[in-house]
Structure 1
Amino acid sequence: MAYNSVYVCVTVLFFSTLISSQLLQTCRLIRSTSDLPVLTSEGDIMIGALFSLHDTVLESPPSFTEEPHPTQCSGFNFRTFRWMQTMIFAIEEINRDKRLLANLTLGYKIYDSCSTPFHALRTALALMNGNEGGTGKPKCRGRVPVVIGDGGSTLSLVVARFLGVFHVPQVSYFSSCACLSNKLEFPSFLRTMPSDFFQVDALAQLVQHFGWSWIGTFAGDDAYGRGGAQIFNDEVTKLGACIAFYEIIPKNHDQTEMSRIVKRIRETGTRVVLVFALEQDARALFWEALQQNLTSIQWLASEAWITAAVLSTPEFHSILQGSMGYAIRRADIPRLQPFLLRLHPSKYPQDPFVVQFWQEMFKCSLGTSTSIRPPCNGSEVLANTGNIYSDVSQLRISYNVYKAVYAIAHALDSMLHCEPGKGPFAGGSCPNSSSIQPWQLLDYLKHIHFTNDFGEETKFDRNGDPVAMYDLINWQLIGNGEVRYATVGRFDETMQPKLVIEEKNIIWNGNQRQVPTSVCSTSCPPGTRKATRPNFPLCCFDCIICAAGEVSNQTDALECEKCLPEFWSNTRRDTCIPKLVEFLSYNDTMGITLLAVALLGSCFTLAVALIFVLKRHTPLVKANNSELSFLILSSLWLCFLCALAFIGQPTSWSCGLRHTAFGIAFSLCLSCILGKTMVVLMAFRATLPGTNVMKWFGPLQQRGIIFLCTAVQLVICCTWLSVAPPVPRKLMTRETARIILLCDVGSPLAFSLVLGYIGLLAAVCFLLAFFARKLPDNFNEAKFITFSMLIFCAVWIAFVPAYVSSPGKYTVAVEIFAILASSYGLLLCIFTPKCYIILLKPEKNTKRYLMSKSNSERKY
């Protein structure tokens, strides 16, 4: 490390002196950067770019006695290669666009910084040197006026210090360290990646939104982790929360230390833990948490690892499922994927990175085959790979690169359209478009403000930071066991409110829908009450949600207040709202269904009556006493229609009509059936020698029986309505959130008498029909009356316990069901056999057939 540090310092001093000197008349070729691979495309204006296409550098320590060997990098990064291709895509798109830089074309020089500060500095020096290593006289004017990159904050810190000396604007796409906002140290640094200041603000608002007040914090042992975590701790403390612990993840990932800091989670009892670290440090922490089976923690993520593919492997699903954090905004860039899939080594022989990309992608060799990799056969197809390079579903950093290119293009366009006398420089002067100076371009970059094709504004504040916009990401497991980065909210600095959360779409740790709680807090929100916890710090107490029917409308309420009987607490338990009124209405599904069944029954009854009217002269209709049959059908029609009085909001009129109407209608129906049954039974008795019974059961007597039986029920109902009529009533209890509108029967005795009298008539009909069920006749109606009475009695016997146990509107529904079921039973059992013969068996609808004995009787 000592040798490297000395080498870096010497190199920086040497090249800074060489390039910045305005007195040099000739340029000297700097040999130390000629070995760097570079991708170049000529244009009127060249844009420099740095991408960490490899993860490490393989090189021997410098000896300072001979020229260093060419640099070798290893660990090809497909995601970074996609970023680089996105930059090329944006430049080519701008060159085709006639609206932007119409008379100029953009070119580029792209270097690989290999993820190391030293190599990043060398590539920056190569961009400032302006010579591509070709033959002939070097050209110093080839120096690029602007640089895009680098990726990580550590790399950008080194490059920004160097480029800032020459006021060369640098636009980074992935450096979020808040330290880079210091314009005294980094005067020419800008970025399309929001500063960690904004991310921490968004995280603090997230904690405040969910009421978490006992938070644990882990930080990576670097400027990114320590700086971000410290700012977060300060912010949430200002909001009244408590920090349960603050631990640093060691860079060497020492097993003993990792075990100790993970145990701190259990010791403090916190349920919510923020990890502000790079993905490799976060992975070491989660691996230790996995070893300790720590599966009940809700992890909050920093932007560095919330969408990291290395953590979405199945081994971490048990502890990271439900994790939440912010990621920079994504976008769908049209036509980018076909552009990415265009690559092939034969099409781009001059590209020094395509060969490495192709060999790493297909694990083959484009040169001589080795024992490790076979030769590439030329039939490889990028579209058939599932690599992250061609995955355009999460274009976040790629979108930042895209915005960086367009920001530079808009700044250049503004320079070219500068009107003399209205320029931004002294005396209103404009820059020389034929010789663009970096410091002039920097001034224009600082003041750009445009809206791209995605409807997003791009501009930089006075610190060179963009407008902070984040997607709130929630890790959710999908059916095939993969992690889906679900967007469940957003943070937009330009909107009000800044933070919007779709709570219903969030799946928390443990596959739960309920928001996890952290029990330590300095304040309880409305809807809860304070409950102190012994042996805990003063700021720690439980926030107990008020019970249903109770509210608290102030912060830190000690007790919850009960709502008045007519009111109920809202979902937040902070105010009392009127209770919901419940009754069986025509608008709900149950009411509509019962209405349809009742109307259908009435239509069936009318249809049967129509058949009997049309066939009234046939023997079967005459033999069954057409007058009684029509009277029974009329009463059944009333029975079906009286069910409608039970549907709708109870009123004094409807409550009085409900039970009296169905009581009288059923009494009339059963009275008619009773008269018919008695006639059938007595008709058989009258055939015996010496019997003269039928004179007591003629038409006049039948009408008298029907009138007398119905009159008894009529008297009961009239007495009921005059003495203690049914009235509408509100059923309100403090334990329920609803007011049940129902009809109070007024007099339980009268209600019991109505039902009892109906039951008495049904029982008498059943007994008489039962005795007459085996009378020898080709059409024995008593048998069908027996079945109908059996169904009738069964329905009303089952009605009693169902009526008593049903709550609210279901009590009314049970009663309607009993009315309709018994009515359908009477209609189907008594009249279906008759309609069957009338319509389908006309040969049996003859006087001879009806007067003859049954076949079974003739056998004896």
Structure 2
Amino acid sequence: MAAGCQEQETEFYQPGNVIIGAIASQVFYFHDSPTFIEQPTQALIDEPVSMPKMYQHILALAFAVKEINKNPKLLPNITLGFHIINGYYIAKMTYKATLNLLCAQQRFVPNFICGSQKELIAVIGGYVTEASAIMANIVAIYKIPQLTYGSFSPAHGDKTAFPFLYQMVPNEDYQFRGVLQLLHHFGWVWVGLLAVDDDYGDRFLKAIMPLLTQNSICYAFIIRLTNRSYVAEYLDFMIDQVDNYRVLMERKANACFVYGEPPSWQDLRMLLFYVPFFSLPPVGKVWIATSQWDFESLSVQQLWDIQHFHGALTFTVHSNEPLGFQKFVHSIKPSWTIRDGFIQNFWEQAFLCSLKNSNVNAGNTKFCTAEEKLDSLPHTFFEMKMVGHSYNIYNAVYAVGHALHAIYKSKFGERRFQERGRVGFLTTWLWMFHHSLKNILFNNSAGDNVRFDENRELVTGFDLTNWVTFSNNSFVRVKVGRLEPQAPPCKQLTINDDLIEWHRSFNQVLPLSMCNDNCYPGFSRKKKEGEKYCCYDCSPCPEGMISGQKDTDECFRCLEDQFPNKNQDQCISKFLNFLTFSEPLGVTFVFLALTFSLITALVLGIFIKHRDTPIVKANNRDLTYVLLISLFLCFLCSLLFLGKPHAVTCSLRQTAFGIIYSVAVSCILSKTITVVLAFMATKPGSSMRKWVGKRLANCILLSCFFIQTGICVLWLCTAPPFPDFNMKSVVKEIIVECNEGSVTMFYCVLGYLWFLAIVSFIVAFQARKLPDSFNEAKFITFSMLVFCSIWLSFVPSYLSTKGKYMVAVEIFSILASSAGLLGCIFSPKCYIIILRPELNSKDLLTRRH
């Protein structure tokens, strides 16, 4: 549309049996009054400046009507017509255009249907919510269905107030949820909000801010975009917005969610265009927008750079390319139809030339050849492929066609159609058409399913589009994802990250949009006082706790069988800790145990070989054999403490050690008591003679043995030892140990051994100076002193160690005490038997000192 054209020239009319009305939004007014300027010499600032890209919406409608009229299977004997009037984005012009649709003449009388020979069956429009609501208030009076192809925000009230309104775009709340999922997907929790400064922007902020809070996302700033349409107001707006631009330069908020219907994108472009004049640096952001946004330029913005928006992400209306649309668009010429009141304006504004039959741009020396190529225009001016809103119009026309066809196929509908012109025909027909439209279901020529839900909204999804811009003001729409509102919540949004191209300032690295840097694993977030919850400090995890992910609110402890690594960012399985046969310490103990066992067996062999010698026969030869055998078993029982504990070994460890050791100590006690009684019995008239002999020694041995055995049996029957996994004593290890079951019974076994050892020590100490060459008392005294010293030191050592070293202490104590007994008692005797056999005689045995 060029300046100076008459109002009727902004219409596009094609006659037919039934008429589809459409309200186009084709013009911006850069003037203080919404009227056309007839003087062709007026400056450009006083002229209506069009957005040529909107012309594709008109072509989509004309193409769909043409296809339907050529299709013999759809609406046979009925010709669809259409009537398009410009609404100019201005409320009173939209009211006037809507009323014009209801009249055939160039005048209208409110509340009267003019030109009844042309039946207006449906209205398609508008592109923005305000236009849709204005149209709905008028056409609903006449029960005429309205299909809005753009957005429809419920800021005007509940949708029940518009019972004849059908939306070709699903509810915008779906897109809000999609944006939240998008922010979560990329980890953007510190975002900027830009909203148009009107009721729709207020409604948007009121809806989105609680959703951001519920999803742990904060807004860094809010900038309100103007809804004005005139140059003078734009200049005032630009001056006021300089401070807002400085807010927009916030580097941490790299993701900005923009909400606004056209012409909000032009407002943002205007802001970014003017800031270099204020010596402000450019900004690189990830612009996120809903389907209302489209890259479209005013004719005066043809040379304006769009590189600011490179890498933007928008939810766009899903679209496909109908077969034949490209060919149809290539056939467009300024003279293609005399009824098109838009093409002349479109051509002149798009190619910046003047047609020969136009007086609008008479001052322009460049004339149009009418052979200009549409595909040479920047994509912000015109796209050859059908865009989302044009696809909505295409589907809207087909929805009307199929609804009419469904009525026409019915006998009642065909009869009513033949009666058109009668009183009440149109009202009845429109009610039938409204009912048919609600239940429409078909596949369009592009293969997409078209149907409305119970809220009269088209059941469809959105494409997540990545905008890749070029220096010649062209761009490519790259589909990088899909939003399916009907899918389960966790599967509604799918994104292919590899296809996304980010703004060049990010060097093709995923941008961060956070109040501060991430708290990496090993740290937790701590809220900053006086700041929003998205701003926080990073605090190291306490000792023994980890955080395995970025930006965790608190650290947590590992499982019992795990421990934190050095960086406290993951849990590591603990090592099993037990004394094995193969490790150096275990090998040492095995070697010592076997060596001392062999020595003990060798001593036993020597004593058996020399059993008839006086030194062997002295002090009860049988007790000596029992003592050596018990010491041999003591050395071997230490091997039970090596290896991974099992139920059997745990039960045998302490009980076998306690019983065997009690036998050994009992033998020593018996031998000591026998020596004492023997000397007491030599006194004249002594009554001790009857106690001297093997019977007393055997009684002492057996009684001590049975007492210890009884304690062990009681222990096994009540609370026996069992294998246990101690996970708390050592941070990095699981101690595989034998739990004593009853600690009381364990110390009873040890206590009884200590009791026998102390009694033996006391008795031996008293008899150490008795006169006899083969008196064992002094050796027993020394051996018991070694024995008691070892086991007294065992208690603190045992309690102060953990894991396998606790077992090692007990093995060492067993081997050391047993070796002490073996060495102290039997080494002097072996010395005499082997090296000094002359001392092994009866004369020496009976000699008195």
Aligning the two structures, in what range does the TM-score lie when normalised by the shorter sequence? 0.5 to 0.7
CA contact (8 A) 1:551 1:560 kept: no
For residues 325 and 544 of structure 1, do their structure 2 counterparts lie closer, same or farther at Cα, with a shift above 3 Å needed?
farther
Q: 2-side partners of 1:490 and 1:522: how far apart?
A: 30
CA contact (8 A) 1:53 1:114 kept: yes
Q: Does 1:507 align with 2:504?
A: no
Shift of 1:239: 1.5
- The correspondence of residues 291-370 of structure 1 with structure 2, limited to 5 A, is 292-293=280-281, 295-305=283-293, 307-309=295-297, 319-362=308-351, 363-367=353-357
* Residues 87-114 of structure 1: per-residue CA shift (max 9 Å, x gap): 0110110111223223322111222223
Q: Does 1:106 align with 2:80?
A: yes
Aligned counterpart, 1:155: 131
Q: Does 1:74 align with 2:48?
A: yes
* Residues 496-535 of structure 1: per-residue CA shift (max 9 Å, x gap): 411011112223342444433343599999x785232644
Q: Does 1:541 align with 2:515?
A: no
1:168 is paired with a residue whose SS is coil
CA contact (8 A) 1:523 1:555 kept: no
* Residues 677-725 of structure 1: per-residue CA shift (max 9 Å, x gap): xxxxxxxxxxxxxxxxxxxxxxxxxxxxxxxxxxxxxxxxxxxxxxxxx
Shift of 1:197: 1.9
Aligned counterpart, 1:213: 189
Q: 1-side partners of 2:282 and 2:50: how far apart?
A: 34
1:453 is paired with a residue whose SS is coil
CA contact (8 A) 1:507 1:513 kept: yes
Aligned counterpart, 2:18: 45
For residues 412 and 368 of structure 1, do their structure 2 counterparts lie closer, same or farther at Cα, with a shift above 3 Å needed?
closer
CA contact (8 A) 2:191 2:514 kept: no
For residues 267 and 37 of structure 1, do their structure 2 counterparts lie closer, same or farther at Cα, with a shift above 3 Å needed?
closer
Shift of 1:408: 0.8
- The correspondence of residues 317-466 of structure 1 with structure 2, limited to 5 A, is 319-362=308-351, 363-367=353-357, 371-374=362-365, 380-382=371-373, 385-386=376-377, 388=379, 391-393=383-385, 395-418=387-410, 434=420, 435-436=425-426, 437-466=429-458
Q: Does 1:188 align with 2:176?
A: no
Shift of 1:59: 9.8
For residues 558 and 52 of structure 1, do their structure 2 counterparts lie closer, same or farther at Cα, with a shift above 3 Å needed?
same
Which one-letter code corresponds to 1:101 in the other structure?
A: L
Which one-letter code corresponds to 1:486 in the other structure?
A: V
Of 286, 302, 311, the residue aligned with 2:272 is 286
Shift of 1:401: 1.0
Of 187, 207, 223, the residue aligned with 1:247 is 223
Which one-letter code corresponds to 1:96 in the other structure?
A: K
Q: Does 1:120 align with 2:90?
A: no
Report the aligned-residue RMSD: 4.5
Q: 2-side partners of 1:309 and 1:37: how far apart?
A: 20
- The correspondence of residues 242-281 of structure 1 with structure 2, limited to 5 A, is 242-251=218-227, 252=233, 254-255=237-238, 257-265=240-248, 269-277=252-260, 278-281=264-267
* Residues 633-680 of structure 1: per-residue CA shift (max 9 Å, x gap): xxxxxxxxxxxxxxxxxxxxxxxxxxxxxxxxxxxxxxxxxxxxxxxx
CA contact (8 A) 2:355 2:368 kept: no
Which one-letter code corresponds to 1:93 in the other structure?
A: E
Which one-letter code corresponds to 2:272 in the other structure?
A: F
Shift of 1:280: 2.4
Q: 1-side partners of 2:369 and 2:305: how far apart?
A: 38
For residues 190 and 152 of structure 1, do their structure 2 counterparts lie closer, same or farther at Cα, with a shift above 3 Å needed?
same
CA contact (8 A) 1:112 1:123 kept: yes
CA contact (8 A) 1:488 1:502 kept: yes
Q: 2-side partners of 1:531 and 1:550: how far apart?
A: 10
Aligned counterpart, 2:492: 498
CA contact (8 A) 2:149 2:169 kept: yes
- The correspondence of residues 684-723 of structure 1 with structure 2, limited to 5 A, is none
Q: 2-side partners of 1:371 and 1:340: how far apart?
A: 28
1:140 is paired with a residue whose SS is coil
Shift of 1:168: 1.2
Q: Does 1:558 align with 2:555?
A: yes
Q: 2-side partners of 1:576 and 1:315: how far apart?
A: 58
Which one-letter code corresponds to 1:160 in the other structure?
A: A
CA contact (8 A) 2:53 2:297 kept: no
Worse-matched range after superposition: 254-263 or 334-343 = 254-263
Q: 1-side partners of 2:192 and 2:33: how far apart?
A: 42
Shift of 1:403: 0.9
Q: 1-side partners of 2:120 and 2:315: how far apart?
A: 34
1:516 is paired with a residue whose SS is coil
Shift of 1:367: 2.5
CA contact (8 A) 1:34 1:132 kept: no
Which one-letter code corresponds to 1:125 in the other structure?
A: L
For residues 314 and 414 of structure 1, do their structure 2 counterparts lie closer, same or farther at Cα, with a shift above 3 Å needed?
same
- The correspondence of residues 721-740 of structure 1 with structure 2, limited to 5 A, is none
For residues 329 and 379 of structure 1, do their structure 2 counterparts lie closer, same or farther at Cα, with a shift above 3 Å needed?
closer
Q: Does 1:517 align with 2:512?
A: yes
Q: 2-side partners of 1:313 and 1:375: how far apart?
A: 16
Aligned counterpart, 1:651: none
Q: Percent identity?
A: 23
Which one-letter code corresponds to 2:161 in the other structure?
A: E
Which one-letter code corresponds to 2:266 in the other structure?
A: Q
* Residues 24-75 of structure 1: per-residue CA shift (max 9 Å, x gap): xxxxxxxxx995753322222211111123333989799xxxxxxxxx9832
Q: TM-score, normalised by structure 1?
A: 0.53
Shift of 1:328: 1.7
CA contact (8 A) 1:46 1:145 kept: yes
* Residues 177-209 of structure 1: per-residue CA shift (max 9 Å, x gap): 233683333222212133322221211221222
Q: 2-side partners of 1:385 and 1:271: how far apart?
A: 34
Shift of 1:125: 0.8
CA contact (8 A) 1:76 1:360 kept: yes
- The correspondence of residues 669-688 of structure 1 with structure 2, limited to 5 A, is none
Q: 1-side partners of 2:135 and 2:362: how far apart?
A: 40
2:161 is paired with a residue whose SS is coil
Q: 2-side partners of 1:281 and 1:307: how far apart?
A: 12
1:263 is paired with a residue whose SS is helix
2:462 is paired with a residue whose SS is strand
Aligned counterpart, 2:694: none
* Residues 510-566 of structure 1: per-residue CA shift (max 9 Å, x gap): 2444433343599999x78523264434453368999xx994599645269799999
For residues 240 and 131 of structure 1, do their structure 2 counterparts lie closer, same or farther at Cα, with a shift above 3 Å needed?
same
* Residues 742-793 of structure 1: per-residue CA shift (max 9 Å, x gap): xxxxxxxxxxxxxxxxxxxxxxxxxxxxxxxxxxxxxxxxxxxxxxxxxxxx
Aligned counterpart, 2:844: none
